[in-house]
Amino acid sequence: MGAYLGLFRRELLLAVRQGGEIGLALGFFVLAVVLFPLGVGPEAEMLRRIGAGIIWVAALLAAVLSLDRLFAADHADGNLDLLALSAMPLEGVVLAKCAAHWVTTGLPLTLISPFLGELVDLDSAALPLLALGLLIGTPALSLLGAIAAALTLGARRPGVLSSLVVLPLYLPVLIFGAGAVEAGIAGTGARPHLLLLGALTLAALPLAPLAAAAALRQALD
Amino acid sequence: MLTYLANPARFMRASAAVLPYLGAATITVLAAGLYLALIVAPPDYQQGESVRIMFVHVPAAILAEGVYYVIAAASFVALVWRHPLADVGAQAAAPLGAAFTLVCLVTGSLWGRPMWGAWWVWDARLTSVLVLFFLYLGYIALVNAFDDPGRGARAGAVLALVGVVDLPIIKFSVNWWNTLHQPASILRLGGPAIDASMLVPLLIMAAGFALLFATLLLLRMRTALNERKARALRLAAPERRAAAPTDATPALR
């Protein structure tokens, strides 16, 4: 547990001190959302209709963009080999890194999402649903993303490749996340969507580290 | 059986013996199926002749999904038992599966145009087949993204297993999404039951597609093994050239 917390703290410190990586993901997220009104027009009616989907798609893309920093730097400078040799199981290493990744990407996105919701004129009743959905769903994005990041270690053009690999896997998160907001607006009840979103995250919590650790072992072979 | 064929040389011999029969069976069954489907089977009372697209579309759809499970099973065997041919099989099957998926999408689109009046509809099944196509593309891209083919094979195996766990979840969520967005706007064609005069050609075509897959899979596996042998020879060539002068000297003298 101590080693787990130590690794978690190290990842956080690296993210904070290494030139504002949190800001980078956040900036991309905001900019991607801002691009949509410029593309489809500023009519509030239309933006309200597609706002939740825009924000969720932007969150997905921001998560994909930040995946390469999960393992790539540690792989390049040999830290990953040391972590693999340590007494801590590799699954634990993945989990600690995912937790840090979520705190530096998923959590800031969640916190800023109500403001972006206002930007696309989302119903004020839907804002808590949007934030709650992101809070529940973004851990799954980090966990599934870890699989793709581990699989593409050492590949040619890992960035493009990992997005091709992981975006189909992100589909359910997008559907239930955006669906929760939509159901909330339509008044059909967002609870089932949020519960299913929670189920996805809870299923990914034990399974994704297993798969990612298996992929890491092969990358380090 | 599996361990017996683990030796590539033995596999080459066995597959060479099986392949002609398999090829002949494929051609016979496909020809019979096409004859029954295109000439003997009656036109649909509602859709007319365009229903015949079904005889290609449905078998392709069955294979599109089936091949993914074949890849996942082969990947499991490769990861657990380190079976030397399972990797080769999984990689050889992937482009075939992607091709069946593409055939399914294209024929579906061609069928949808006269029936629904649109090339593409965001129907749950269409969407999940499209996602399946992207899963195939991701797998193929990942396998080919490494300088070391062994690393690509193992990464692909993990991805195939992740994909096969995720596939039912994706299908479920797409169904969910579809009922949310457009309730029951998709025509259920042909009703619940299908007449024997159409079912029999359909089943024969499905068997023909499966045989085609088996034949092409064996061919592709044999090619992959030959390629691997050629690669090994090419990598060994500089060494032999370095060793050659000592061998050649007696002949020169």
Assess contact for B22 and B211: CB atoms under 8 A: yes
Residues in contact with B162: Cβ distance below 8 Å, sequence separation at least 6, in sequence order: A147, A169, A211
Note the pLDDT of residue B238: 81
pLDDT means over runs of 10, chain B (253 residues): 78 90 94 88 76 88 93 93 88 95 92 82 84 94 89 91 90 79 47 69 92 95 92 84 60 47
Q: Express each pLDDT in A138-186 by its tens digit.
A: 999 999 999 999 999 888 888 889 889 999 999 999 999 998 998 888 8
For B142, the closest of A161, A168, A214 (CB atoms) is: A161
CA distance A47 to A42: 7
| Side-chain half-sphere CA neighbours of B75 within 13 A | 26
Touching check for B168 and chain A: CB below 8 Å?
no
Kindly state whether B159 is in contact with chain A, defined as any CB-CB distance less than 8 angstroms.
yes
Q: Apex CA B169: angle with CA A100 and CA B124, to 5°?
A: 125
Residue of B nearest to A154 (CA): B146
Q: Two tokens at A43?
A: 């009519």
The 10s digit of each residue's pLDDT in A26-43 is 899 999 999 988 988 888
Q: B 77-116 residues with CB below 8 A of A? A: 79
- Nearest-CA distance B36 → chain A (Å): 38
Domain limits, chain B: 51-181+198-226
Is some CB atom of chain A closer than 8 A to the CB atom of B165?
A: yes
* pLDDT at B160 (0 to 100): 94
Instruction: List CB contacts of B155: < 8 A, sequence separation 6 or more.
Output: A151, A152, A155, A215, A218, A219, B142, B143, B146
Q: What percent of chain A has pLDDT over 90?
A: 48
Q: Identify the three-state secondary structure at position B151.
A: helix
Q: Is A136 exposed, middle or buried (0-12, 13-18, 19+ CB in 10 A)?
A: buried
**Measured between CB atoms, does A76 come within 8 Å of chain B?**
no
Q: Is B47 within 8 Å of chain A by CB?
A: no
Q: Give contacts of A154 with chain B, Cβ < 8 Å.
A: 146, 151
Neighbours of B184 (CB within 10 A): 8
Under 8 Å CB-to-CB from B206, ≥6 apart: which residues? B58, B59, B62
Decide if pLDDT at A200 tops 90: yes
Measured between CB atoms, does A107 come within 8 Å of chain B? no
Residue A116 has pLDDT above 60, yes or no: yes
Would you place residue A19 in the very low, low, confident or very high pLDDT band (cuts 50, 70, 90)?
A: low
What ipTM did this prediction achieve? Answer: 0.88
Q: Which residues of A touch B141 (CB under 8 A)?
A: 161, 164-165
Q: Residue A11: which of A64, A76, A73 has the closest Cα?
A: A73
Q: For all residues of chain A together, what is the average pLDDT?
A: 89
Of A81, A77, A74, A129, the C-alpha closest to A101 is A74
Chain A closest-CA separation from residue B221 CA (Å): 23
Q: Which residues of A touch B145 (CB under 8 A)?
A: 152, 155-158, 161
In angstroms, the separation between the Cα of residue B159 and the nearest Cα of chain A is 8
Look at residue A11 in the predicted model and tell me its pLDDT: 87
The closest alpha carbon to A60, from A153, A154, A144, A174, belongs to: A174
Residue B192 is predicted with a pLDDT of 45
Cα Dmax for chain B:
88
Q: Determine the pLDDT at residue A170.
A: 93
Tell me if chain B has a CB within 8 Å of the CB of A56.
Answer: no
User: Among candidates B48, B208, B71, B85, which has minimal Cα distance to B142?
Assistant: B71
pLDDT of the residue at B1: 64
Kindly determine whether residue A152 and residue B145, on different chains, have CB atoms separated by under 8 Å.
yes
Contact A157 B177 (CB under 8 A): no
Residue entry with tokens 């597959």: B15
Minimal-distance CA residue of chain A relative to B80? A214
Q: Measured between CB atoms, which of B145, B158, B180 is closest to A215?
A: B158
Say which of B79, B142, B174 has its CB closest to residue A165. Answer: B142
What is the reported pLDDT for B181?
58
Task: Verify whether the Cβ–Cβ distance B166 to A169 is below 8 Å.
Answer: yes
Q: Tell whether A168 is within 8 A of chain B (Cβ).
A: yes
What is the distance between the alpha carbons of residues A165 and B92, in angstroms, rounded to a whole number?
19
User: How confident is the model at residue B245, as a pLDDT?
Assistant: 59
pLDDT for residue A120: 87
CB atoms B131 and A168 under 8 Å: yes
CA A80 → CA A114, B95, B205, B230, distances in Å?
37, 33, 51, 35
Instruction: Among A175, A211, A221, select the one facing B162 at the smallest CB separation.
Output: A211
- Count CB pairs under 8 A between chains A and B: 83
**Which candidate from B151, B165, B169 shows the least CB-CB separation from A218?**
B151
Give the pLDDT of residue A32: 92
C-alpha distance from A80 to closest chain B C-alpha (Å)? 17
